[in-house]
Structure 1
Amino acid sequence: MIKSNRIYITWLKWPILIRMAVFVLLVITLFGTVISWIEPKEFTTVFEGIWWALVTVSSVGYGDFAPRTTAGQVLGMLLIFVGVGIFSAYFASISSATFHKQHRYSEGKVRYEGSDHMIVVGWNEKSNKLIHTILAEKRTTPIVLIDDTLKEAPLINNLHFIRGNATDKSVLERANTARASSAIITADQHKNESDADMLTVLILLALKGCNRGIYAMVEIVTDTQVINAELAGADYILNTSNMICDAIMEHRQEEKR
């Protein structure tokens, strides 16, 4: 009794599409075998019976095999009624599963299974332009975007969206951070500068915790957090405040010339 319960539980753990496919194959095999017993002259082998059952249940109807006896015709009628229900339910399940998976993918709930990809944390105009630039130069580079503000994935080819907080280990696991090659962390524009930088450092620590060898580029807004970003393991730091100062100084030097 315990063994049968385990088998039943294992069966229920299988994906619904696989279970239905197995059930369809069993029905086709059963009806094909029975028809070969009922009409051995018309169906000389079990394979011919299975072929007839498959053609009948799929509503193709080649007509190369057909029952001649009343018992065989009754079995054929039963197979048609059963087959219509089975195949309708099977294809309906496939459509439902496909729609469900696409919906989960759009919502950022589907785990990324690739490797050597780039992770971009935070969705804003800067990351948007950055992603388009990278994909324009290296079209084969897979990019995984992690963000907790977007409701649906951006319509960008070769971009996999993961919705969630990048400091959450489960979110980083869905992004397959352990197999990523590089990461770019942009400053959160919804926070003040100090809080944005502290969040950037926390995300960096979480990324390095999942993949110590990942090449991490971070955007730091304030000078005070640059040292913390270096200690957290940042491989490249983009200091926005210094960039603005450097741009102004360069413009003044050009004016003096």
Structure 2
Amino acid sequence: MTTRLDPLSFLDSDIDALRQQGLYRHLRVLEGEQKPSSRFDHRQVVNLSSNNYLGLTTHPKLREAALDATRRLGVGSGSVRTIAGTMEIHMELERRLAAFKKVEANAGTVSAVLTKDDVVVSDELNHASIIDGSRLSRATIKVFPHKDAAAARKVLESLPASQRKLLITDGVFSMDGDLGALPELCALAEEFGCIMMVDDAHASGVFGKNGRGTIDHFGVHGRVDIQVGTLSKAIGALGGYVAGSKMLIEYLYHRARP
């Protein structure tokens, strides 16, 4: 009987390489609640790594609301949104998010806005999720140096005027905490006829009036076509959203993956 070689044996050498490079991750185990002063691995430390910016993850009102919803509705919808999983609380959340973000409508997911014939023009430090989404769209990806609107202009000038273009930036860049060049990029989007998109995951709850994000902070309402955000950071819960015009959201209901 032939002994089968382990087809995953190469992973061991890759893990060893991570250790040698000082890149091996040790998971820090949180004991108890996520707080400014938390206990990790039996040590009380100041927690500077959490996304729970406003402390809402453990807020008494949010705890009670979650328990109440679970008692009334269960722990899941039982189906995807597009078949039988859209509940009244989903629609209420969408309405409230749309009002909060000052847009016409809101949806929970986004995909397939672009095709292989289109172009994504992206800041080099945009979040990994933007990079992954751009690749999945199969569109051509053009990257410009961080917050360099002049370089972004040169990229746009090199593209055919008839080609559909998505210009995208983070509102707040997650690694360095600096703000995206929204006013300059919005002006470029208008000049070159681009779809303007902002990932405001780290800005919601932090910048703008009542935490409405960088679109509100810079006063560019109506100039950003697609806003992407999350409920898992400052909002203290789970999930994400896409906010924009009614036409965009109607399109996403039909084309975005559940």
Q: When the two structures are superposed, what TM-score results if normalisation uses the length of structure 2?
A: 0.34
Asked which structure has the greater RCO (Cα within 8 Å, sep 6+), the reply is 2
Pick the structure with greater CA Rg: 1
